[in-house]
Structure 1
Amino acid sequence: MASPGPGDIAQYVEEVIHIYRVMQGTKYLSVIASTILLVDMITTLPSEIVYIWGSSWTFVRIMFHINRAFSLVLLGTRLALFMYRLTEEVGISLSLFYTYGTIFVMCIITSVLIVRIWLIYGKKTWFLLVLIASALGVTVPTLVLFQISLMKSQWIPNPAPDVITACLFTPNPIAFLPYITGLLYETLIFSLTVYKTWKLNRQSMTTPLIIRLFTDGSSYYVVVVLSGIFTCLGALHPLISGAAIGSGWLLAMMSSMCSRLILSTRAFYNKDEDLTNDFVSHEMESLPRVPPRSDPESTTVSSFIQMGRPGFDYSWPYQDPLDVRAPNSPHFARRRSGEYSRDEKC
């Protein structure tokens, strides 16, 4: 058997150096992503205790806890990036758990976004079915293609087990596909939010709630889309493909922003009231609709309520914050009991 020549040795060294650089970049970005997620969990823990722990068990709360816990577990598997001499069985098991776990968390976050936009559009059954069908139409074919390509990937023996950590696999040419389809669906959800905000604004029905939903949705979309673009484009570059796909960066960003999305909405509703057991029922309410009014004065007051003046009470029936009459007066008593004369109705 002929001994390797200088050309073979140089090629071997070049390959080891390339793999080492790719792995180092993946490890560094993984540490950054894990740190961001942990810091976000710690800084939002007081809000979580107030707005989540004391509330009833709803769909949103269950998804919140799954997102928090499972994302942390998945990033914990990235510790394998720092381990030497991983066996083939361990390497394959950890890689599959991370891959499918990431897809699972993305589905959890998508379900929260679906519920959110469904409530914004008035909890219409047909609209919810369209959202679910569109999500399945995008996700199922993508997962089938991804599974086929994943089955073609093979484990590669580590050429320098004392220098290179973790485990190596043959490149997956469509590893970025689930992220692209995910970005497309995120864009659809955000576009629906923008359209609803624009429509209500044209009808002079913009309220603080609408502004909060639009602001939170915009922040989530910008962060997630930028992270997704980095993941998709980075997967095409040989030097940063490992960091883009295997570091958990997009997972950390989506998990953090989804948690903040839920906490921000609950904080808005609890801004001026104590947390009660039925507090989270607000999350299952559609946006307020304006009752029909017949006289011009009523229309003026109704429009004033919809405009969302800061610090005023927008509950119905409307109570004028500038009214100095005592709360126990007959006028206010009739308001609480729902008895109005024709002239008093607003």
Structure 2
Amino acid sequence: MSDVAEISEELVLDLQTTFVQNCCFVAAASLVVYDHITTFSHEMQYIWGRKWNSVTALFHLNRWLILVYTVISLPIGFLPLPSIKGCTAANYLLFALTLMLYVIWAAFLAIRVYAVGSGSWKLAILVFLLSIVPVGTNIWSNFFDSFAIIEDIPVLGLWCIFTSNASPALNIRLTVGTRACVITSDVIVLLVTWLKTFPLKREADRANIKSPLATMLLRDGTIYFIVLLALNVLELAGTVRTNVFLYASTFLASPLSSIFISHFLINLRQTAKAPIEDGLGSQRPSFVHPRAGERARSYDSSLRFAGVVDNMGELLEHNAELTDAAMSWEEDACQDGRDTDAPAEPMFDDRAEVV
């Protein structure tokens, strides 16, 4: 009688665990599909038809890989795979897609830091190496330390389960180490974004001039990294304390990361196309005329960034000049009656390279 009671309790626990996993899984898949449907028009308007570069390549790889991952994982998650070979192949496919997404996200973070951080390759490489740590740990844990088994679960029948040879203590150490590296990377990106962008936004606000690119980078960048930081902390808590957090973070981390990156890149394109307005609400031409001493440096910086990272923070320094250079240029033009289109004084668009 006691054996039957123990089996019943174990069965109830397994069913409850499966139910929670399936709920988190369906929620994540629904989120991906919903986001693709609701943002498709913006994708067509701001991404499609653009020349291929770092922004468009990152966008398409990130956006469509997560959709492929979702479509493939749905049948794998809900349909039984009664053979070891089929179970292993299906899970290896999902693992490979996940690793590709990790590489894309690491590249995105590195390019963001390089662009906003005044072209610092050392900082960008550090962020990339920290962000790529999950690739190494997942390759080891999923391809070398894990294996598939077929279990006959009451009520559910034959079911494929992917399990690990590693001890719980080793899994905890790997998870903590991996999440610590990712969190450190997120913090670096957030700090660089604020240190490089907030002073420009503050100066523009003091001059009553709108700075859409700086505002967008602060808003979207902060929200994006805070959400990812929260997910990483939840995964740590789930690994050490309770599986409830672990399920939520495991199933939602990848979709949310992919969605935030897609929205970030779409918003960059949208900001680049929007007209600049002054403090009175009237539209100001989207060009500035830097002081002579700054023109060569600005143009060289524009060329250096435009070919690599497009509009991912590349021209923030020109927004800083907007507070005085653009206004003094307009005042001089009105006083002197100079032709602003004269070839001897080329105009500079602070977002010309980002569209």
TM (normalized to structure 2)?
0.72
1:302-344 Cα offsets, whole Å, 9 max, x none, are 87x328xxxxxx8699435996x9xxxx93525442359xxxx
What is residue 330 of structure 2 aligned with on the other side? 319
Deviation at 1:107, TM superposition (A): 2.0
Among residues 114, 121, 139, which one is paired with 2:117 in the alignment? 121
The structure with the largest helix share of the pair is 2
Following superposition of structure 1 onto structure 2, how do residues 242-281 of structure 1 map, counting pairs within 5 Å? 243-244=247-248, 247=251, 249-272=252-275
1:222-275 Cα offsets, whole Å, 9 max, x none, are 22222232233224456437724653x1111001100000011110110139xx
Cα distance in 2 for partners of 1:165, 1:272 equals 60
- Amino acid across the alignment from 2:235: T
What is residue 86 of structure 1 aligned with on the other side? 82
What is residue 176 of structure 1 aligned with on the other side? 175
What is residue 286 of structure 1 aligned with on the other side? 314
What is residue 75 of structure 1 aligned with on the other side? 70
Deviation at 1:103, TM superposition (A): 2.9
Is contact 2:146–2:162 with CA below 8 Å preserved after alignment? yes
1:77-108 Cα offsets, whole Å, 9 max, x none, are 33222113532222222223223422321221
Following superposition of structure 1 onto structure 2, how do residues 102-117 of structure 1 map, counting pairs within 5 Å? 102-117=98-113
Cα distance in 2 for partners of 1:322, 1:219 equals 41
Cα distance in 1 for partners of 2:256, 2:327 equals 39
Cα distance in 2 for partners of 1:234, 1:33 equals 18
What SS does structure 2 have at the residue aligned with 1:57?
coil
Cα distance, 1:158–1:200 mapped onto 2, change above 3 Å? same
Compute the RMSD of aligned alpha carbons: 3.5
What is residue 338 of structure 1 aligned with on the other side? 344
Following superposition of structure 1 onto structure 2, how do residues 88-237 of structure 1 map, counting pairs within 5 Å? 88-122=84-118, 124=119, 127-136=120-129, 139-140=132-133, 143-150=135-142, 151-160=144-153, 162-163=155-156, 167-170=160-163, 173-174=171-172, 176-177=175-176, 178-200=178-200, 204=203, 207-237=211-241
- Amino acid across the alignment from 2:257: M
- Amino acid across the alignment from 1:132: I
Deviation at 1:11, TM superposition (A): 3.0
Is contact 1:91–1:166 with CA below 8 Å preserved after alignment? no
Cα distance in 2 for partners of 1:100, 1:285 equals 31
Cα distance, 1:232–1:268 mapped onto 2, change above 3 Å? same
Cα distance in 1 for partners of 2:313, 2:190 equals 20
1:24-75 Cα offsets, whole Å, 9 max, x none, are 1111111111111111111111111111002111011011101111101112
Is contact 2:46–2:266 with CA below 8 Å preserved after alignment? yes
What SS does structure 2 have at the residue aligned with 1:167?
strand
- Amino acid across the alignment from 2:175: F
The higher relative CO (CA closer than 8 Å, separation ≥ 6) is in 1
What SS does structure 2 have at the residue aligned with 1:333?
coil
> Which of 186-195 and 281-290 deviates more?
281-290
What is residue 294 of structure 1 aligned with on the other side? none
Cα distance in 1 for partners of 2:267, 2:31 equals 19
Cα distance in 1 for partners of 2:313, 2:217 equals 13
Cα distance, 1:286–1:88 mapped onto 2, change above 3 Å? same
Cα distance, 1:169–1:187 mapped onto 2, change above 3 Å? same
Cα distance, 1:315–1:9 mapped onto 2, change above 3 Å? farther
Is contact 1:205–1:306 with CA below 8 Å preserved after alignment? yes
Cα distance in 2 for partners of 1:224, 1:45 equals 23
Cα distance in 1 for partners of 2:6, 2:140 equals 31
Cα distance in 2 for partners of 1:94, 1:30 equals 16
What SS does structure 1 have at the residue aligned with 2:47?
helix
Q: Which runs of 5+ in 2 are unaligned?
A: 206-210, 277-305, 347-355
> Which of 171-180 and 82-91 deviates more?
171-180
Cα distance in 1 for partners of 2:30, 2:55 equals 25
What is residue 344 of structure 1 aligned with on the other side? none
Is contact 1:30–1:78 with CA below 8 Å preserved after alignment? no
Is contact 1:197–1:214 with CA below 8 Å preserved after alignment? yes
Pair 1:30-2:34 in alignment: no
Cα distance, 1:270–1:148 mapped onto 2, change above 3 Å? closer
Matched length: 301
Cα distance, 1:205–1:72 mapped onto 2, change above 3 Å? same
Q: Which runs of 5+ in 1 are unaligned?
A: 1-5, 274-279, 292-301, 308-313, 341-346
Q: Which has the greater radius of gyration? A: 1
Identity over aligned pairs, percent: 20
Is contact 1:157–1:168 with CA below 8 Å preserved after alignment? yes
Cα distance, 1:290–1:45 mapped onto 2, change above 3 Å? closer
Cα distance in 1 for partners of 2:88, 2:41 equals 38
What SS does structure 2 have at the residue aligned with 1:168?
strand
